[in-house]
């Protein structure tokens, strides 16, 4: 039972990364903007947060640095898309590519750096419970913070006037503008918030989840988070549950390897990406109209996400150097 408790705890930790990024992207898409640069923002935030912790020793400073880096890149994206009317899909992809390369360049001096050891977190009394205590009450505070943020977004979107205005801007910007609302500024604020959340997720990866810096360490989680918003039909509670589902798929590969299950490690490494593809196919087959829920051209987004997820799964498979299709490649 102890191994299953550890599996549940690691699932919640892995899902937190996806939940934070996906909740930020959900706000973007509620405002009618699709930011495909999540991967690049998370990588830049990861190196920013890691460097901040190396120099200050404070994880909180690392989180703030990551959020600042993500918000800055998102603000640049927002100005280009909202004010200069560049294509949001092309701009987002350019941001993702820029973030990947720029983070690799900045991280050259931090490859061998080490972070101070994190304190052990535990909820008093509850952490001593058998099985449940290990699974649920010995996690980093940000794991619980993700649940609080999801609940706050539910309240904001469906119980406040500001949330109603945000949804109106996404669903009918012309009507919102006719009523006197500053559509551009509202959208920019939503984009910056989404970037800050992606930045928080990136900083969490490099400072808590895997406290080290490795080039490309986000490993496609930004794309999975983008797909997760579609999978959850743009509802914060479903985003949270979906994040834990994908986190469980990610952790399942390590659990199966530890228990000695005779399954190719390459196949297990592809599970999160294959799960993303399956979910997007099911959404496409169900006839769901993303435009009806988010006020954006989501139907054009689904084929792109399918292609990107398939590409990421192949790339992850190739890293193992055991792909039979690539064995004879030069």
Directed axis angle between helix 265-286 and helix 221-231, to 10°?
30
Q: How far apart, in whole angstroms, are the C-alpha atoms of residue 56 and residue 243?
A: 31
Cβ–Cβ under 8 Å, residues 171 and 292:
no
In a domain, 134, yes or no: yes
Rounded mean pLDDT for each run of 10 residues along the chain, 330 residues in total: 81 94 96 95 97 95 97 97 95 96 95 89 86 89 96 96 95 94 96 98 96 92 89 89 88 77 71 74 64 40 48 49 37
SS3 91: helix
Q: How far apart, in whole angstroms, are the C-alpha atoms of residue 247 and residue 9?
A: 10
Domain tally, the chain: 1
In a domain, 26, yes or no: yes
Q: For residue 294, what is the domain's CATH number?
A: 1.10.3470
What is the structure's pLDDT at 290? 45
In a domain, 101, yes or no: yes
In a domain, 12, yes or no: yes
In a domain, 328, yes or no: no
Q: How far apart, in whole angstroms, are the C-alpha atoms of residue 282 and residue 295?
A: 21
66 lies in which domain range? 2-318
In a domain, 265, yes or no: yes
Cβ–Cβ under 8 Å, residues 201 and 20:
yes
Cβ–Cβ under 8 Å, residues 139 and 9:
yes
Q: pLDDT digits over 50-99, tens only?
A: 999 999 999 999 999 999 999 999 999 999 999 999 999 999 999 999 99
In a domain, 330, yes or no: no
The encoded tokens of residue 14 equal 């892995």
Q: How far apart, in whole angstroms, are the C-alpha atoms of residue 130 and residue 116?
A: 30
SS3 213: coil
What is the structure's pLDDT at 245? 87
What is the structure's pLDDT at 301? 45
In a domain, 329, yes or no: no
Q: How far apart, in whole angstroms, are the C-alpha atoms of residue 296 and residue 88?
A: 11
């Amino acid at each position: 039972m102890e191994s299953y408790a550890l599996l549940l705890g690691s699932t919640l930790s892995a899902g937190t990364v996806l939940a934070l990024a996906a909740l930020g992207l959900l706000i973007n898409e509620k405002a009618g903007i699709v930011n495909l640069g999540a991967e690049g923002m998370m990588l830049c935030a990861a190196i920013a947060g890691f460097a901040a912790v190396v120099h200050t020793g404070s994880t909180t400073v690392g989180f703030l640095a990551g959020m600042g880096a993500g918000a800055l890149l998102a603000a640049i994206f927002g100005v280009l898309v909202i004010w200069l009317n560049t294509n949001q899909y092309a701009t987002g992809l350019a941001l993702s590519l820029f973030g990947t390369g720029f983070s690799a360049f900045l991280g050259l001096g931090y490859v061998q750096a080490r972070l101070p050891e994190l304190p052990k977190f535990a909820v008093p009394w509850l952490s001593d419970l058998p099985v449940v205590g290990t699974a649920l009450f010995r996690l980093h505070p940000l794991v619980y913070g993700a649940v609080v943020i999801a609940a706050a977004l539910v309240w904001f979107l469906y119980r406040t006037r500001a949330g109603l205005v945000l949804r109106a801007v996404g669903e009918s910007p012309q009507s919102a503008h006719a009523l006197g609302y500053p559509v551009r500024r509202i959208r920019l604020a939503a984009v910056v918030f989404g970037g800050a959340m992606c930045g928080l997720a990136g900083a969490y990866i490099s400072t808590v989840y895997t406290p080290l810096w490795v080039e490309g360490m986000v490993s496609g989680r930004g794309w999975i988070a983008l797909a997760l918003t579609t999978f959850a039909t743009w509802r914060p509670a479903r985003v949270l549950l979906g994040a834990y589902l994908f986190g469980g798929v990610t952790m399942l590969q390590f659990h199966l390897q530890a228990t000695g299950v005779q399954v190719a490690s390459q196949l297990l490494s592809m599970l999160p990406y294959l799960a993303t593809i399956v979910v997007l196919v099911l959404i496409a087959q169900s006839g769901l109209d993303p435009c009806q829920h988010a006020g954006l051209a989501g139907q054009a987004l689904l084929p792109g996400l399918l292609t990107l997820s398939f590409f990421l799964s192949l790339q992850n498979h190739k890293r193992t150097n055991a792909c039979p299709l690539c064995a004879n490649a030069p």
